[in-house]
Amino acid sequence: MTTMETDSYIPACAKSPEDFLPYDLSDEGPGDQRHQQARMQAAHRQCAACPLFVECLYRSVVEVDVSGYVACTTEDQRREMRSMLGVEIGQPAPGVIGAPRVGAGPVDHESVVAMRQAYPNDTCHQLAERLGCSTSTIKRHLRRERERQAAQVAAAPPTIRRVPTTDEVLDAFDSLETSKVA
């Protein structure tokens, strides 16, 4: 395919994402297992024929932890490949934790930080209204968080993370049983 055709190409996983959801063959009866196995084989054929396969495989192994069936691999297989390649994927930033705050009283630091993460474009005044506290409370907690992050960066030794090449990821894929089917 040419670049133009690839740019307009819509992969099967985008057209019918339900076919690529995580599979669990352990909880189901024999009929359900056969149905799930057939879905997985169909997904495998579609992935193997996709022009985005190499990019998808690389990103799902090296850059982000994706759930479900991706690039002819299951979550366990990608975890195995990461182990072979020495790749660690960091956890995503936590979202808002818990229910919205109601009523007066002290605001805890985590609530302010979570609210800022949920509403990064809000002003301090808007965040204060959402939490039912003063603007100075929001500013104090955000300043404390910036100082904490700066201290962590200053204290942490620089880590050099070796990023595997596309060829190394493909070699790891080739060592899996699933690659022999594709």
* 124 and 84 inside one domain: no
* 114 and 151 inside one domain: yes
* 72 and 22 inside one domain: yes
User: Is 101 within the bounds of a domain?
Assistant: no
Asked if residue 5 has pLDDT above 60, the reply is no
Q: Work out the average pLDDT over 16-44.
A: 75
Judged by DSSP in three states, 28 sits in coil
* 84 and 115 inside one domain: no
Asked if residue 104 has pLDDT above 70, the reply is no
CATH of the domain at 121: 1.10.10
Residue 28: band (very low, low, confident or very high) from pLDDT cuts 50, 70, 90:
low
Residue 26's pLDDT is: 56
* 70 and 127 inside one domain: no
User: Is 168 within the bounds of a domain?
Assistant: no
User: Is 85 within the bounds of a domain?
Assistant: yes
Q: Work out the average pLDDT over 28-52.
A: 83
Residue 27's pLDDT is: 55
Q: How many domains does the chain have?
A: 2
pLDDT tens for each residue of 129-154: 888 888 999 999 999 999 988 888 78
Residue 156: band (very low, low, confident or very high) from pLDDT cuts 50, 70, 90:
confident
User: Could you tell me the pTM of the whole model?
Assistant: 0.56
User: Is 169 within the bounds of a domain?
Assistant: no
Residue 99's pLDDT is: 43
> Phi first, then psi: what are they for 70, rounded to 5°?
-140, 130
Q: What percentage of residues in the chain have a pLDDT greater than 90?
A: 29
Residue 150's pLDDT is: 87
User: Is 73 within the bounds of a domain?
Assistant: yes
* 131 and 74 inside one domain: no
Domain hosting 148: range is: 109-155
Q: Work out the average pLDDT over 41-60.
A: 91
User: Is 55 within the bounds of a domain?
Assistant: yes
Asked if residue 69 has pLDDT above 60, the reply is yes
Name the one residue in this structure whose structure tokens are 């297989």.
77
Indicate the residue type of 116.
Answer: R
* 49 and 125 inside one domain: no
User: Is 96 within the bounds of a domain?
Assistant: no
User: Is 71 within the bounds of a domain?
Assistant: yes
Asked if residue 15 has pLDDT above 50, the reply is yes
Asked if 11 and 59 touch (Cβ cutoff 8 Å), the reply is: no
* 24 and 76 inside one domain: yes
Cα angle vertex 67, ends 65, 71, to 5°?
A: 85
How does DSSP classify residue 20?
A: G
